[in-house]
Amino acid sequence: MRRLACLATLATMAVLVLAPSAEAQRNTMTASILDFFFSPSDITVQPGTTVTWVNNGQASHTATATDPAGSFDSGRLQPGESFSLTLNQSGTYTYKCAIHPFMKGTVTVSGGGRASVSASASAMASASARACYELG
Ligand SMILES: [Cu+2]
pLDDT tens, position by position, 41-100: 999 999 999 999 999 999 999 999 999 999 999 999 999 999 999 999 999 999 999 999
Query: What global pTM score does this model have?
Result: 0.65
What would the pLDDT profile of 90-133 be if each residue is shown by its tens digit?
Answer: 999 999 999 999 999 999 999 864 443 433 333 444 444 444 44
Under CATH, domain 2-135 is a member of which superfamily?
A: Cupredoxins -  blue copper proteins (2.60.40.420)
Q: Any bridge partners for residue 55, and if so which?
A: 33
Helix (H, G, I), strand (E, B) or coil at 78: coil
Choose among 112, 110, 131, 122: nearest CA to 2: 131
CA distance 71 to 95: 10
Q: Which residues surround ligand 1, an ion (CB under 5 A)?
A: 61, 97, 99-100, 103
Residue 37 Cα to ligand 1 midpoint, Å, equals: 7
Domain ranges (residues) in the chain: 2-135
